[in-house]
Structure 1
Amino acid sequence: MKFIKIIPILAIAVLSSCKNDNSALAENRSSDIKVKDTTLRILPYPGKMPTVSSSYIASKKSHVANFYEKNWDHNTMNGGFLVAKNGQIIFEKYQGISDKSKKSEITANTPLHIASVSKVLTATAILKLVDQKKLTLDQKVTTLLPTFPYADVTIRTLLNHRSGLPNYAYFTDQKEIWDRTKILTNQDILDLLAKHKFPLYFKTDKKFGYCNTNFAILALIIEKKTKMNYRDAMQKIIFEPLGMKNTFVFDYMYDKGKTSQSYKGNMVQFDFDYLDNIYGDKNIYSTPRDLLKFDMATYSPHFLNPDLLKEVFKGYSYEHKGNKNYGLGIRITEWETGERMFYHNGWWHGNTASYVKLKNDTVAIIAISNKFTYKTYRTWKLAPLFGVYPVKLDKDETEY
C-alpha cells in the first residue's frame, strides 16, 4: 500500500537559549534530558499564521502561570502543561518523575500516556484514509471486517460514538467471556463480538453513547486498509509527517518496563492489567509539544481537506438538550451564544490528559500527567482568557 509522502517544514524559532535534544524515539523513548523552559513557534506546515507579539505573550503568561500555581501548587502536577497561540508557546512547564524506580525526571521530551486523547489521533488517521479515497465515512464496517456482526454500524458512527456497541471492558470482565490472566488484543475484541453477538446498547445512530470499543474497531480498520499494524500505520500517517518525534503507540511486550509509569497518591505505582494492550482508544504516548504540532497541522489545508474538517468539527448528537456534543473523534461544548470549544480528556490508570482547542482563536491548551488528578481536566477554564467563552468560573478563578 503506497502513501502520499508529505514532507513537513517544521518552523521552530527558539526565543531563548536552550538545547532541545529530540533524539530518535527508537533509541530513547523516555528521555530524562534536562530541558529549560523555552518559547517556541511550532508550525508543521508553512502557512500564514501571524506571529504573536511579545506584549501579547507577556499579558497572558502571568495569568496562565497563576492558573498553574493555583492548581498545582508546590509542583504537584507530575507532568507537562502547555498553552500556545498560533503555534507560539505562551507558557509551558514540566516537572515530576516519569519512573520512580529510575528516578527519571519529566521534561519537554518525555512521552506520557495520553489515554483517550489518543482517540483524536486515531480519528485523524481514519480521516487521512478517507481523504485519500481509501475509505468513506458512511462505509459499513462489515465491508471491511466481514466477521463484525452489526450490519448498520458505519465508520462515521464509530467516530461519533453513535454505534451502540457494547463496551469491551464490561463484557471481558465476565469470567465466562474472557480469562483475565490473558492479555486482551483488538482482534480478540472483534472475535468476541463475532462469537457472542452481544446486544447493542441502543439502535445504531439513535443517540450518543461514548464507548471505547468504537475506537478499538477503528484501529483494526486502519490495519486492514494500510496492511500495517496500527503502531506502524500511525507512525507513517501522522507522527513522522508532523515531526512528532516523541510520540509512539505503546507495545505491551516491548514498552511496559521502558516508558513512563503511572501513579496515584503518594507515588504508588499502578500495575499493568489485561486491558493494557488495546490501542486506538488509548495507549498513545506523547508530549505537549508534539500534540501542539498536531494541533497546528489541523489548521493547514495541506494536512486534511477543509471540507472533510467541517465534518469533524460539527455536532452529531442533538437528541438531548444541553451544550455537550461530539464530532468525529472530538468533544464539543456549544453555547447558545454561538461560541464553541473543542476538546478531549483522557484517563487510564494514573494517567490523565486534556487537549483543548479554541479553534476560532487558534489557541491550544494541553496538559498531561502520570499521577492521577482531576485537576488536569480544569484546563478548559482558561478559555475566557483568549476569547468570549461563557465559562462559569469559581470565585477564586475570576482573575485568570
Structure 2
Amino acid sequence: MKQLKLLLAVTLLCSSCFSQTKSFIQLDSIFTLLHGQNQFNGEVFIAERGKIIFNKGYGFANEETKSRINGKTIFELASCSKQFTGAAIVLLKREGKVNYTDKLSKYIPELKFWEDVTIYDLLRHTSGIPDFIFSMDNNWDPQKIASNDDVITFYSSRKDTLEFKPKTAHRYSNTNYVLLASIIERVSGKKYGEYLADNIFKPLGMNNTFVYNRRKKAKKIENYAIGYVWAYNSFTKVTMENPEYNEQRVYYLDGVEGAAKVNSCAEDIYKWILALHSNTLLSQREFEEMTEITQTTAGSPIPYGFGLDLRKSENKMAFGHTGSWDGYSTLIYHDSIKDRTIIILENFNQGANAVTNVFEILDGRPLTMEYEKKIDIEEPIFIQFTGTYADEEGNEHIITYKDKHLIYNSNVAQWDMRFFPYAKNEFFAIRQGGRNGVLRFSKLDNGDIKLEMLEYGSLIGQGTRRNKS
C-alpha cells in the first residue's frame, strides 16, 4: 500500500512538472516569436498558487550598454502607479487623516471652484475634472518641467469647468491621481515618494521600488530599463524626447507624480500582489473598499476601484491595471479565485502583451492565432505595393518601404505604422498592445492595386493606386 501511495505521489509530481514545463515552453515560444518580430521587449512574470511558473526577460534594458532584461530589471510603471496612490489614501484614512467623502477643497482650497468633487470621485474617476496631459499640451512652456503644484496652479488660474457633474459618469482622468498625490503630501507632511516608501515599499520589502523623475532628478540606477520608441521612418530605438521622435510632453510632465512615476521590477510587484491577496498591508475590509464596484447616479456600474480596474462576477474576482507612458507599456493582473498573477513590463511602446494566449496556455485551452507569424519575402514584392492609394472622399493612404516592412502614413496624419508580411499580399501591424491591424492588397483587372485596411477583421478604410504603367 505504501508503495502504491509513493508511486501515485511520484506520478502526480511528474505530471505536474510536465504540465509546468509544457506551459513554460509554450509561453516562451509566444514571447520569443513576438520579440523576434519587433513586437515585444520586456519582462514576463507569472505565478499561481504562490509559485512562480514563468519569469523571463526578452531583449535589452538599455540599447547603448546592451544590458539584458531580467526579473529584477526596473521599469517605469506608468498608470500602474495609481494603485499605490490609492492604497496610500486607504492608509491615511486608517490614520484618521482623511475620509473618502471629504471634499477636494478641504485639502486643496485653490480648487474650491470644483466644490462638489470628493476624494471618492478622484479615486474612482467620477470627478469630471479634465485630464492635465491634454489641457497642458499647448498651454505650458515645454522647456520647464512641471510639478504637482504647477498642475494645481495651472487649473486654479484657469478655473476650468468640470466635464460632467461628479458621480454622474465615470471617465478616466490622470489629474484625479495627481491631486490625490498632492493630498497625500499635504496631509502626511511627506513627499509623495517618501510616504509610499515608508508605508508601502519598505514594509513589504520592495527594495527596488521607488518614485523617480528621470529627467528632473536623473541618477544612475543599476539594471534600469530605458523606455524606447522607434525614430520616425526608422527601426532605431530612441527616447521619446529625442529630436528624431520629438515628443516633448514626456519631458515637461516628468515632475508630475501620482498618476505615474512609480518605478519597480516584476519581483517587487509580486510582493505587492501577495500583500493585497493575503491582507498583509490592508485589512480585508480596507481591501474590499478599495475593490468595490460602485455605480454612477444613473445606475451604470463603475468597474474601477482605488487605482485598480476590476472584474467581478459570481465566479470571478480579478483586479489590476495597465499603463502606457514614456516608451513603457505595463500590465499587472491578479485573479483572486485562481490565485494567479500576471505581470508584463515593457520598455518599448509598440509592445504586444499576448494576454489572450497567456490565458489559453495557463487554462489548458487550445491556442488561437492571436498574432500572425512573419514570413520572409523578397524586396520587389514589398516595393510593388508602395505608393499613394486614394479613396472616393479624397483621403490618401501612403505606403512606403523600409527594412522588410511596409510603413503606413496618410495625408492627414503621420502614423508611421509598421507592417510585416504574413502572406505575399497581407501585412500585419506592429501596434501598441498588439492591437490587430492588417493591410491587404489585391490586383484589379485593369492593373490598379486595391488596398484594404482591416482591424480585427472589419474593414476600416480602403483606397486604390492607379496602374503605374
- Same fold at TM > 0.5: yes
SS of the residue corresponding to residue 216 of structure 2 reads helix
1:248 touches 1:285 (CA, 8 Å); kept in 2? yes
1:60 touches 1:90 (CA, 8 Å); kept in 2? yes
Q: Which residue of 2 aligns with 1:353?
A: 330
Q: 2:48 aligns with which of 61, 82, 85?
A: 85
Q: 1:215 to 1:256 in 2, by over 3 A?
A: farther
| Residue 63 of structure 1: how far off its partner (Å) | 2.5
Q: TM-score, normalised by structure 2?
A: 0.66
> Considering only CA atoms, is the larger Rg found in Structure 1 or Structure 2?
2
Q: What CA distance in whole angstroms lies between the structure 1 residues aligned with 2:150 and 2:366?
A: 44
SS of the residue corresponding to residue 246 of structure 1 reads coil
SS of the residue corresponding to residue 268 of structure 2 reads helix
SS of the residue corresponding to residue 281 of structure 2 reads coil
SS of the residue corresponding to residue 70 of structure 1 reads helix
Q: Which residue of 1 aligns with 2:74?
A: 111
2:56 alignment partner AA: K
Q: 1:68 to 1:314 in 2, by over 3 A?
A: farther
| Residue 132 of structure 1: how far off its partner (Å) | 2.3
Q: 1:63 aligns with which of 14, 20, 23?
A: 23
Q: How does 1:45-60 map to 2 (within 5 A)?
A: 56=16, 58-60=18-20
Q: Which residue of 1 aligns with 2:229?
A: 264
| Residue 183 of structure 1: how far off its partner (Å) | 1.0
SS of the residue corresponding to residue 260 of structure 1 reads coil
1:367 touches 1:379 (CA, 8 Å); kept in 2? no
Q: 1:387 to 1:246 in 2, by over 3 A?
A: same
1:107 alignment partner AA: N
Q: What CA distance in whole angstroms lies between the structure 1 residues aligned with 2:198 and 2:336?
A: 26
Identity %: 27
1:357 alignment partner AA: H
1:71 touches 1:375 (CA, 8 Å); kept in 2? no
SS of the residue corresponding to residue 231 of structure 1 reads helix
SS of the residue corresponding to residue 333 of structure 1 reads strand
| Residue 276 of structure 1: how far off its partner (Å) | 1.7
2:65 alignment partner AA: K
Q: Which residue of 2 aligns with 1:17?
A: none
Q: Which residue of 2 aligns with 1:188?
A: 150
Q: 2:178 aligns with which of 197, 216, 220?
A: 216
Q: 1:395 to 1:100 in 2, by over 3 A?
A: closer
Q: 2:128 aligns with which of 164, 176, 179?
A: 164
Q: Which residue of 2 aligns with 1:306?
A: 284
| Residue 67 of structure 1: how far off its partner (Å) | 3.3
Deviations 1:67-103 (A, max 9, x none): 3422441745321111012332111101322222233
Q: What CA distance in whole angstroms lies between the structure 2 residues aligned with 1:217 and 1:392?
A: 45
Q: What CA distance in whole angstroms lies between the structure 1 residues aligned with 2:202 and 2:159?
A: 38
Q: 1:61 to 1:155 in 2, by over 3 A?
A: farther
Gaps of at least 5 residues in structure 1 are: 1-52
Q: 1:280 to 1:263 in 2, by over 3 A?
A: same
Gaps of at least 5 residues in structure 2 are: 1-12, 242-249, 372-469
Correspondence 1:287 to 2:265? yes
Q: 1:249 to 1:54 in 2, by over 3 A?
A: farther
Higher RCO structure (Cα 8 Å, ≥6 apart): 1
Q: What CA distance in whole angstroms lies between the structure 1 residues aligned with 2:146 and 2:95?
A: 31
Q: What CA distance in whole angstroms lies between the structure 2 residues aligned with 1:88 and 1:342?
A: 19
Q: 2:159 aligns with which of 191, 197, 210?
A: 197
Q: 1:393 to 1:201 in 2, by over 3 A?
A: farther
| Residue 277 of structure 1: how far off its partner (Å) | 1.7
Q: What CA distance in whole angstroms lies between the structure 2 residues aligned with 1:186 and 1:237?
A: 21
| Residue 219 of structure 1: how far off its partner (Å) | 0.7
| Residue 163 of structure 1: how far off its partner (Å) | 0.8
Q: What CA distance in whole angstroms lies between the structure 2 residues aligned with 1:74 and 1:185?
A: 37
1:81 touches 1:92 (CA, 8 Å); kept in 2? yes
Q: TM-score, normalised by structure 1?
A: 0.77
2:168 touches 2:296 (CA, 8 Å); kept in 1? no
1:115 touches 1:348 (CA, 8 Å); kept in 2? yes
